[in-house]
Structure 1
C-alpha cells in the first residue's frame, strides 16, 4: 500500500490553487478543525477562495480577515463563548466576502448530498424564511429563486425546497490518528467529516499522530476515513490549535480570545499573520511558537484517556520524519 505522507508545505503546493472551492472539517472549538492548513494557504498567498465550512471556526475567521476567501458558505457564524467571528464580520461588512447563510442541518444535508452524488437534496428546513429568500451570491434578487428553489414532492404533492449538494475541490480534514496510507480515526465530535471526505474531489488528512498499520487492523470499525478516499497525509501535532483535539489537547482559550480580538482590525490581522502564520519554518518552530509550556498544559487534558487504547501504535516523531522524507512516497507500507 502506498505511503501518502508528505510535508505540510508540499500539501499546500499540490492541493491548493487560487479560486478553488475549499472545505475544512470540522468547526467549533471542540470540533478539531484543520486550522494549520488554512495558515498554510495564507503562507502560499492563496486568494479568491470559495470556502465551505459546516460551521465557522477560527480558520474561516482567519481566511476572511486576511482577504484570502471572497466567498463562503456556512451554518453558525460565531465562536461560541469567544464571541462573533470578528474577521468574518469585517470581511462581510466591507463587502470583500459574500457569506451565504444556511442552518447547520442544511450544511450537513448538503454534504451528505455531495457524498452520495445526488443532483439535489430535498429541503424541508430553511424554507419559508429569509434563509431561502436572501442570497449573498445574488443580493439584488429578492426573494431569491436560485438559492433554495421550490420543488414539488412527487409523492405527496407538497411544495418543499431543493438544496444544491456540496462537492468542494479540496477538503483538508483534521483527524486524531492516521496511518501512512491514509486510514484515519477521529476522536470527539465529527461535524460531518465523514460526509465531507466522500463529498470532496480531493482529500488531505491532517493528523495529530501517525500510527502503525497494526492500529488500523485492530480497530477497522473505527476507521471513518479509509485510505481510498485520501490523496495525502500530513503529520502535524497541534494542527487544530487553538481549537481542541479530544484525547490530544484542550482548546487554548486564551489564544482564542486573543486571535479573535486581533482579527477585528486590519493592523491586528497583519500583526497576527506576521507572528502566528509566517513566523515558523517547520513543525518544531511551530510548536515553539505555541510555547512548550503551554503545549504541556493543554496536553494535560481530562479527555486524554480517549487516546489510551491507541497509544501503543503511535509512531515516534523521528520515524514519521523518516517516512515523510522526499523519497518515502515510493516506499510501500506493510498492511
Structure 2
C-alpha cells in the first residue's frame, strides 16, 4: 500500500483522464457538493469529446457543455434550481454540440446502483410509457426507441417491464467533505448516489475540501462511506464545489451562481468566463484569490459549520498537506 494517495489536481487530470472518456461527477444536488474544480481542470488541459454522466446537472456540466467539451451527456435533471435553467447546457444541446439523454432522478440512482452491483440490467418500473422511454438523444431517428429502455418479461409475474442499462463510468471525480491521505472519505449532507457512484466507476478520484489524519476515520468508521480500496487518488482542494455549496464548509455563492450561468448563455460570455476563472487560474492560491477573501469568509460563516465539530482535531493544515504532497511515492519512484 502506498504511503498516501495525495496528488495535485493537475496531475490527477493528466494521469486519469483522456479525450472521449465516459466521465461521471455531479452525483449531488444542482447547487450542492460536486467536484466542479475537476471540471475546470479538464478544460484547462483541453479534454474534449467527453461522455458525461451526472445524477443531476450542476455548474460543472453546465461549464463543460458550454465550453464544447461534452459530446454526450446523461442526467436526471438539467436545471440549476432557483438559479434557472443551465444556459451553457441549453446552448450545447440546442446547437447540436451535445446529445442529452434524459432520465428521471430515480432512474439515474437505479442505474448507478446497477453498476455498483454489476447487474446486467436494472428492472425498471419508472419512466415506462413516456417519451423518456420512447425518445433517445443517442438514436433520434428511432421512435419509439427500442434500445434506450427496452422491455423485458418479469419471470415471476409475467408482466412486461423496462430494463435500464447500468452505469459504469470509466472515471468518477467525487467531491467529499473529508478524506484521509489513503483515500477513506466522509461526506456531510445529502449523498445523492455518491456512495453508489464510487462502486460503479472503474476509477475514483476524491476531491476533498479537507484532509484529515487517518485516526479520524478510525474514530468514525461508520461514517466512512467511501473506503480507500475504491480510490485511485486524493486531491486536496478547498472550495472545490464553489460556487456551489459544501455542507459544514461553505454555502453556495449565489451571486457567482447567477453570474456564471448568465455568462455561459453566450459564446462570448463563456470565453470571457473561461479566461478569467479557468485558463487564468494557475494554482490553488490563485483559485482562492479569484473567489476573494471576503467572499470566502462570508460563505464559510455557514449555519452548518457545527457538522465539522467532531472532526476538527484531525483536520490537517495546508502546510501539512503540502509536506505530504512534496513526498509522494511517485516523486521518489
Identify the TM-score tier after normalising by the shorter chain.
over 0.9
Cα deviation for residue 281 of structure 1 reads 1.1
- CA positional deviation for 1:39: 0.2
Residue equivalent to 1:170: 171
Query: Are 2:109 and 1:108 equivalent residues in the alignment?
Result: yes
CA apart distance, 1:12: 0.6
Distance 1:68 1:29 in 2: 19
SS in 2 for 1:224: coil
Matched, 1:59 2:60: yes
Within 1, Cα distance between the matches of 2:113 and 2:234?
23
Q: Cα–Cα, structure 1 residues 116 and 74, in superposed 2: closer, same or farther, change >3 Å?
A: same
Answering whether residue 146 of structure 2 is matched by residue 145 of structure 1, we say: yes
Describe how 1:4-23 pairs up with structure 2 within 5 A: 4-23=5-24
> Separation in 1 of the partners of 2:56 and 2:161?
24
Q: Kindly state the Cα deviation for residue 330 of structure 1 after the two structures are TM-superposed.
A: 6.0
Partner of 1:315: 316
* 1:330/1:97 CA distance change after superposition, 3 Å: closer
Deviations 1:43-76 (A, max 9, x none): 0000000000000010000000000001000001
Give 1:31 shift: 2.5
User: Aligned partners of 1:218 and 1:258: how far apart in 2?
Assistant: 41
Asked whether 1:238 is paired with 2:229, we answer: no
Structure 2: any 5+ residue segments left out of the alignment? none
Q: Is the 8 A contact 2:26 2:60 kept in 1?
A: no
Residue 228 (structure 1) shift: 0.2
**CA distance in 2 between partners of 1:301 and 1:243 (Å):** 13
Match of 2:33 in 1: 32
Relative to structure 1, is the Cα distance of residues 241 and 91 closer, same or farther in structure 2, using a 3 angstrom cutoff?
Answer: same
Q: How does 1:1-335 map to 2 (within 5 A)?
A: 1-2=1-2, 3-325=4-326, 327-329=327-329
* SS, match of residue 91 in structure 1: helix
Shift of 1:221: 0.5
Deviation at 1:279, TM superposition (A): 1.4
8 Å CA contact 2:28–2:190 kept in 1: the answer is no
Bigger relative contact order, structure 1 or 2 (CA pairs below 8 A, ≥6 apart): 1
Shift of 1:11: 0.2
How far does residue 79 in structure 1 lie from its aligned partner after superposition? 0.3
- Offset, 1:288: 0.2
> Aligned partners of 2:239 and 2:27: how far apart in 1?
15
What is the rounded CA distance, in whole Å, between the counterparts of 1:7 and 1:208 in structure 2?
13
Stretches of structure 1 lacking an aligned partner (at least 5 in a row): none
> Secondary structure in 1 aligned to 2:234?
strand
Counting matched residue pairs gives 330
Would you say the 8 A contact 1:75–1:102 is kept in 2? yes
Q: Give secondary structure in 1 for the equivalent of 2:240.
A: coil
* Aligned-partner SS, 1:162: strand
CA contact (8 A) 1:322 1:328 kept: no
> Does the CA contact (< 8 Å) of 2:31 and 2:81 recur in 1?
no
In 2: Cα distance, 1:175 partner to 1:213 partner: 15
Return the offset for 1:30. 4.5
Given that 1:25 and 1:196 are in contact with CA atoms closer than 8 Å, whether structure 2 keeps it comes out as: no
The CA RMSD over aligned residues, in Å, is 1.0
**Contact 2:184/2:227 (<8 A) preserved:** yes
* CA displacement, residues 212-259 of structure 1 (integer Å, 9 cap, x when unaligned): 011001000000000000000000000000000000000000000000
Q: Say if 2:264 and 2:270, in contact at 8 Å, map to a contact too.
A: yes
TM-score (norm 1): 0.97
Cα distance 1:301–1:29, how it changes in 2: closer, same or farther (>3 A)? farther
Structure 2 CA distance, aligned partners of 1:267 and 1:50? 24
Q: Following TM superposition, where does structure 1 have runs of at least 4 consecutive aligned residues deviating by more than 3 angstroms?
A: none
